[in-house]
Structure 1
Amino acid sequence: MRFSMAAAMAVFVVAMSAPAASAARAFYVFGDSLVDNGNNNYLLTSARADMPPYGIDHPTHRATGRFSNGLNIPDIISEHLGSEPTLPYLDPNLRGNKLLVGANFASAGVGILNDTGIQFVNIVRMSRQLQFFGEYQDRLRALVGAARARRIVNGALVLITLGGNDFVNNYYLVPFSLRSRQFALPDYVRYIISEYKKILQRLYDMGARRVLVTGTGPLGCAPAERAMRGRNGGCAPQLMRAAELFNPQLSRVLDELNAVHGGGTFIAANSFRVHFDFISNPAAYGFATARDACCGQGPNNGLGLCTRLSNLCADRDAYVFWDAYHPTEKASRIIVSQFMKGSLDYVSPLNLSAALEIDAIAEEKAEAERRRRRERAVAKLVGDKPHA
């Protein structure tokens, strides 16, 4: 088949205008209420944050489904990416070009195990979150084609936060829980770590190549656990022991996965260390207290839900905890700053800023090579030599 010069030039124009990767990479979020930004709003579940005073300091001053007074950790990471916040996967507005931004699949109440959070009834468990990720990729391929969709997913940043609910809302949910009768705590930790490894491997198999994995914070120091299980308002020792067993084993699993898939594929974020900095010396970070929640009731404001009837602090920036378990926006910003620029004590094998810079350079090189291939293809059509 012969091409006219006009046809060849038309191909050249199309090739040169083929969409490059967007300046802000896609961002995908998986996990629990620490990173849910509204999926549970669309579900019949009690694990919801779609009523005041949640969202009191959000830009909209409305409850959005985030378990925060304002923005949460994924929102703040999106700011660092130079992007708008990802939409919840269940949000009907997630369509068209919004798919290029990414998606948030997280659901409050979930854990590593499918039986975690059963009291919340209708939540998006991890198997379902991964199924949604597959459906999302089908929609992305329909929008931009298979090759570009694959590049977007491979080049995305992924955040996953799991583990806390497997202790709080499973093993220690009630005295003599099913899991606590089935496993001694060290055996339970080994079990959930082995299940978590399967989830992380599945993410890799589905195309994730840069995954930020947060460990659990000092679970026993949450206002709810201080109120229910602490001694004289101190941190609950059972939950502290659980976190101290869980986090090192998770780090070892990430090392094992990186040994197979390449260093830095999975980045370990030491949430325990970041939170404990606040708890041991809140004044150093501008907080008045790390013991009490801003919104709640009972001892440490740690009992019950945060509702219109709760005690509500006047200065949210003075508190590490917004409600019984979740950080304020100010605390979340400090947490993210450590993930972005912290030392190996906080994030390893490299911090997020270094990872993003490395990826940006690699993407520039890959895009330059794609451009050269397009130029060579067009040159062959018009019988010209490739330009230097």
Structure 2
Amino acid sequence: MAQVTLFIVFFFISLINLKVDTEGAQLAPAAFIFGDSLVDVGNNNYLKLSLAKADFPHNGVDYPGQKATGRFCNGKNAADFLAEKLGLASPPPYLAVKSMPNKSEIYLTGVSFASGGAGIFNGTDDLYKQSIPLTKQVDFYISVYQDLVQNLGSTEAQNRLSKSIFTIVIGSNDVFGYVSSDSSLGKNSTPQQYADSMTSSLKDQLKRLHGAGARKFVVSGVGAVGCCPSQRLKNKTQECNADANNLAQLYNADLKPMLQGLKTELGDISYSYFDAYGVFQTFLQTPAKYGFTETKAACCGLGTLNAKVACLPISSYCSDRDDHVFWDLYHPTQAAASILADDIFDGTSQYTYPVNARELVAV
């Protein structure tokens, strides 16, 4: 009997400890996500005219419930994994929340404004007819900020937002727009001029976010987008698109000093820059280290590299998604997204500067 009683005592102590650990796992009050299809969790589902959607099979085949949610992935994307690491539920799409009667309560822990096809510049979504460019995403955030101020008061809203994490993953569509064969952008500016303009425009939006309470930023550089299946398909040799990768690197080289300068200018911000290009290069150069066996072809699609036809219900998809870097023509698999999120959150100085996201939370 004494042993049973002792067991019950230890059982309840364990439950109490578990509850404490769980409650202590929330590292930030809220997470706000800005960006493109790499972190879109369903905003484009609500854009009636948009061709950039993922609300159909085989997207979501590995997502809880095996349901397509609007994520351009077989499962969770980097935004989902980052939220988990912060101890938060994945921020829901803003367009799903804005008309809800309890929207003010949902805003307290953050929402996502990310939209497939979006770019830093307005108009980079011309190919897909409709998305939410970064300027509009920031407009939407400012309306959320105003709602928080109205419901919490200016001081409490600012205090909450100053501890929240603002993640920006954008720029790939701007790169694709520049190197596209039917684009006039390349005729109007050099790659360096275009990269400078991308950086300057992003800086303007970061300053707008700062003016509406944002203080902690996670900013991702552009990955090796020239190596995604859609770009390899353009070369008979299936090599990476050098022009796209070059422009991505020029932009990334601009991004770090811009963030340093912005911190000097504003004084009260902190940031973590993530070298997505470098991490993707390690995927391609040492795939076995990460459990990958296929680095060129998409998992879901049809034709050469599974990239002649996009990931549609008529497409086939690979049986083992975890061994592919790419899910479809452009986007990483859940396995790759998980690794990217790990590096964003706990990465070394090789890929995160000046701190990783975990260290940013503690600032």
Question: Structure 1 length normalisation: TM-score?
Answer: 0.83
The answer as to 2:33 corresponding to 1:29 is: yes
Q: Which of 272, 295, 316 is the matching residue for 1:290? A: 295
> What displacement does 1:138 show?
2.1
Name the SS of the counterpart of 1:284 in structure 2. Answer: helix
Residue deviations 1:46-93, cap 9 Å, x none? Answer: 011100111111112111011111111111011111111111101135
Distance 2:115 2:308 in 1: 22
Which residue of structure 1 lines up, in the alignment, with residue 141 of structure 2?
133
How far is the alpha carbon of 1:103 from its aligned partner? 0.8
| Residue of 157, 176, 181 corresponding to 1:174 | 181
1:227 equivalenced with 2:233 (yes/no): yes
1:60 aligns with 65
- Cα gap change, 1:206 to 1:280, in 2 (>3 Å): same
Deviations 1:242-288 (A, max 9, x none): 11211111111111112223486122100001111101111110011
**Greater Cα offset, 193-202 or 48-57:** 193-202
Specify the alignment match of 1:115 in structure 2: 123
Between the aligned partners of 2:307 and 2:113, the Cα distance in structure 1 is: 27
Task: Report the equivalent of 2:19.
Answer: none
What letter is aligned with 1:352? Answer: A
Counterpart-to-counterpart distance in 1, 2:173 and 2:185: 13
Partner of 1:211: 217
> Please, what is the CA RMSD of the aligned residues?
1.6
Task: Check the 8 A contact 2:233/2:304 in 1, yes or no.
Answer: yes
Show the counterpart of 1:41.
45
Task: Give the letter aligned to residue 196 of structure 2.
Answer: R
| Letter aligned with residue 194 of structure 2 | Y
Note if contact 1:296-1:303 (Cα within 8 Å) is conserved in structure 2: yes
Give the aligned partner of residue 132 of structure 2.
Answer: 124
Report the secondary structure of 1:30's partner residue: strand
* Residue 345 of structure 1, CA deviation: 1.2
Whether 1:187 and 2:193 are equivalent positions in the alignment is: yes
Determine the C-alpha separation between the residues in 2 that align with 1:286 and 1:127.
38
- In 1: Cα distance, 2:267 partner to 2:322 partner: 40
1:202 and 2:217 correspond: no
Q: Does 1:270 align with 2:263?
A: no
Of 199-208 and 136-145, more deviation after overlay is shown by 136-145
Q: CA deviation at 1:339?
A: 1.1
* Structure 1 residue 336: Cα displacement: 0.9
Give yes or no for the alignment of 1:156 onto 2:160: no
Calculate percent identity across the aligned residue pairs.
Answer: 34
For the 8 Å contact 1:264–1:349, the answer to whether it is kept is: no
Q: 1:257 and 2:262 equivalent? A: yes
Query: Is the contact between residue 264 and residue 350 of structure 1 (CA under 8 Å) also seen in structure 2?
Result: no
Judge conservation of contact 1:263–1:349 (CA < 8 Å) in 2.
Answer: no
Q: SS state of the match for residue 102, structure 1?
A: coil
1:165 alignment counterpart: 173
Partner residue of 1:334?
339
Counterpart pick for 2:56 among 46, 51, 56: 51
Is there any run of 5+ residues in structure 2 with no aligned partner, and where?
1-25
Pick aligned residue for 1:84 from 83, 89, 92: 89
Q: Is the 8 A contact 1:254 1:267 kept in 2?
A: no
Distance 2:144 2:104 in 1: 12
Alignment match of 1:352 (pick from 350, 357, 360) = 357
Deviates more, 1:266-275 or 1:183-192: 183-192
Q: CA deviation at 1:304?
A: 3.2
Alignment size in residue pairs: 334
User: Following the alignment from structure 2 to structure 1, what is the Cα–Cα distance between the partners of residues 135 and 203?
Assistant: 13
* Deviation digits for residues 274-331 of structure 1 (CA, Å, limit 9, x no counterpart): 1111011111100111111101122211233211111200111111111111111111
Could you report, residue by residue, the CA deviation over 1:219-240 in whole angstroms, capped at 9, with x for unpaired residues? 1110110012x35111111112
Name the stretch that deviates more: 100-109 or 86-95: 86-95
Q: Could you say which residue in structure 1 is the equivalent of 2:329?
A: 324
Tell me the distance in 1 between the aligned counterparts of 2:169 and 2:197. 17
Structure 2 distance, partners of 1:188, 1:249, is 11
Equivalent residue of 1:104, what SS? coil
Question: Whole-Å Cα distance in 2 between the matches of residues 61 and 139 of structure 1?
Answer: 34
Amino acid in structure 2 at the alignment position of 1:43: L
Distance 1:263 1:96, change over 3 A: closer
Asked if the contact 1:257/1:266 (under 8 Å) is kept, the reply is no
Is the 8 Å Cα contact of residues 293 and 319 (structure 1) preserved in structure 2? yes
The correspondence for 1:104, drawn from 109, 112, 130, is: 112
| TM-score, length-scaled by structure 2 | 0.88
In the alignment, is the contact (CA less than 8 A) between 1:42 and 1:90 conserved in 2? Answer: yes
- Three-state SS of the structure 2 residue aligned to 1:91 is helix
Residues 238-253 of structure 1 mapped to structure 2, 5 A cutoff: 238-253=243-258
Contact 1:225 1:302 in 2 (8 A): no
Q: Residues of 2 paired with 1:65 and 1:153: CA distance?
A: 27
User: Unaligned regions of 5+ residues in structure 1, if any?
Assistant: 1-21, 359-388
